């Protein structure tokens, strides 16, 4: 298949970009069937978007920045410099428009290390000892608003690299500090964004139907982000408690799900508080929803689920990349301790890449 317009041939980020929809879906399905073979009977067909929606879906990006003689470029950091991907067809149109506006207006001597965008919030990340001058921002305002942005931030993080953000040294340069997504949920510049909101909603619908949140039921929501799932459980009348590491995400989760309790920290660190909270309801009324980062559940958290919390039902939304499948590792432990894998529902959150999100639904 020819590469779509704007796709940089040297970029390796979208491993399946040479495949059409049918071939990509077949390969993901086949890979899932091998990786999740012990639960083959529970594995559903991949739910995927089709046609034009398979491009332009990525509204959360982190790109390295480099000033060259010809101007600014944004892309992937490599040993020999930044590989520019200004027109990457997977990026959402507002990302591309903002990158072009920045490339045209950013002063040549601005010490930009990374550019991040999360929905309508954009961030310039610098690694300097002092804050750089930003008087030029006003001239960019019309371009930023035209690109659909609500806010532009300066974040000073001398350690930026694998982790782009720290909690401190954020400066709003222009616009509003928070945005709302299509569901009305508040988010900020560091927010985790699930791509393809319709697929995420379908995954949450399936999790809601399985967990059956209701008065008398308690849902512990691990790695809850800005609270999209928390808001669901509490809207159904369940007692809800979320745990999340990011400070901004915790603040947004408290706004998005005011009836829920939200603890800040790693799930591992918060087990001492989770434990009595969940134990206050009988085991048949206990639920766990987990959507951890790509490494899967922290080992202590998995131990706690099987040995202490013992929820009647678990919904586990996992990111899988062809290099690693922590979901299979975690399912094997849950399976061995008496939780049956009822459904494995894969969702193609990242078309044209070799990643696939899978919702596992388990009951004791």
Ligand X SMILES: C[S@@+](CC[C@H](N)C(=O)[O-])C[C@H]1O[C@@H](n2cnc3c(N)ncnc32)[C@H](O)[C@@H]1O
- The reply to whether 330 sits near ligand X by the rule CB under 6 A is no
Residues 202 and 229: beta-carbon distance below 8 Å: no
224 is catalytic: no
Q: In what order do the strands lie in the sheet with 261-264?
A: 261-264, 239-244, 218-222, 286-290, 313-321, 355-363, 340-347
To ligand X, the closest distance from the beta carbon of 292 in angstroms equals: 6
The residue within the footprint of ligand X, chosen from 95, 267, 285, 312 (CB under 6 A), is: 267
The residue within the footprint of ligand X, chosen from 87, 105, 164, 192 (CB under 6 A), is: 192
Tell me the C-alpha distance between 274 and 355, whole Å. 31
How far, CA to CA in Å, does 317 sit from each of 207, 221, 229? 9, 11, 11
- The reply to whether 262 sits near ligand X by the rule CB under 6 A is no
User: Between 274 and 313, how does the x/- string for binding to ligand X read (CB under 6 A)?
Assistant: -----------------x-x----x---------------
Any binding-site annotation on 269? no
- The reply to whether 164 sits near ligand X by the rule CB under 6 A is no
- The reply to whether 105 sits near ligand X by the rule CB under 6 A is no
Collapsing DSSP to helix, strand or coil, 196 comes out as: coil
Q: Which residue's Cβ has the minimum distance to ligand X?
A: 225
Residues 363 and 313: beta-carbon distance below 8 Å: yes
Residues 14 and 65: beta-carbon distance below 8 Å: no
Residue 364 CB: number of other CB atoms within 10 A? 15
- The reply to whether 194 sits near ligand X by the rule CB under 6 A is yes
Tell me the C-alpha distance between 32 and 46, whole Å. 9
Tell me the C-alpha distance between 156 and 160, whole Å. 9
- The reply to whether 56 sits near ligand X by the rule CB under 6 A is no
- The reply to whether 266 sits near ligand X by the rule CB under 6 A is yes
Any binding-site annotation on 194? yes
Beta carbon nearer to ligand X, 293 or 338: 293
Any binding-site annotation on 291? yes
Residue 241: phi and psi, rounded to 5, are -135, 130
Site for ligand X in 199-258 (CB under 6 A): 223-226, 228-229, 243-246, 249
Place of tokens 């083959």: 40
To ligand X, the closest distance from the beta carbon of 190 in angstroms equals: 8
Q: Which residues are catalytic?
A: 322
Provide the annotated binding site for S-adenosyl-L-methionine.
Answer: 194, 223, 244, 291
Interacting residues with ligand X (CB under 6 A): 192, 194, 223-226, 228-229, 243-246, 249, 266-267, 291, 293, 298
């Amino acid at each position: 298949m020819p590469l779509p317009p704007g796709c940089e041939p040297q970029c390796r980020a979208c491993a399946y970009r040479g495949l059409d929809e049918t071939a990509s879906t077949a390969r993901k399905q086949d890979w899932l069937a091998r990786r999740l073979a012990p639960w083959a009977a529970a594995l559903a067909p991949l739910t995927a978007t089709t046609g034009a929606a398979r491009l332009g879906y990525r509204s959360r990006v982190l790109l390295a920045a480099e000033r060259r003689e010809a101007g600014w470029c944004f892309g992937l950091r490599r040993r020999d410099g930044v590989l520019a991907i200004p027109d990457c067809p997977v990026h959402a149109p507002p990302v591309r428009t903002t990158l072009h506006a920045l490339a045209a207006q950013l002063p040549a001597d601005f010490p930009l290390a990374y550019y991040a965008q999360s929905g309508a919030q954009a961030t310039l990340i610098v690694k300097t000892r002092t804050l750089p001058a930003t008087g030029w921002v006003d001239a960019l305002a019309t371009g930023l608003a035209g690109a659909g942005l609500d806010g532009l931030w300066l974040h000073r993080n001398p350690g930026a690299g694998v982790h782009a953000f720290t909690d401190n040294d954020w400066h709003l340069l222009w616009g509003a500090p928070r945005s709302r997504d299509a569901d009305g949920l508040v988010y900020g510049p560091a927010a985790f964004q699930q791509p393809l909101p319709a697929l995420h909603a379908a995954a949450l619908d399936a999790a809601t139907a399985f967990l059956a949140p209701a008065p008398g039921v308690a849902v512990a929501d691990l790695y809850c982000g800005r609270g999209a799932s928390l808001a669901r459980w509490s809207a159904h009348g369940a007692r809800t408690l979320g745990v999340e590491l990011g400070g901004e995400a915790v603040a947004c989760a408290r706004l998005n799900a005011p009836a829920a309790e939200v603890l800040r920290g790693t799930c591992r660190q918060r087990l001492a508080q989770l434990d009595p909270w969940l134990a206050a309801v009988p085991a048949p009324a206990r639920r766990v929803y987990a959507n951890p980062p790509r490494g899967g559940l922290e080992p202590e958290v998995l131990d706690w689920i099987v040995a202490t919390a013992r929820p009647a039902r678990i919904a586990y939304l996992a990111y899988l990349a062809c290099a690693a499948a922590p979901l299979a590792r975690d399912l094997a432990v849950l399976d061995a301790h008496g939780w049956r894998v009822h459904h494995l529902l894969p969702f193609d959150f990242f078309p044209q890449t070799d990643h696939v999100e899978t919702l596992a639904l388990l009951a004791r």
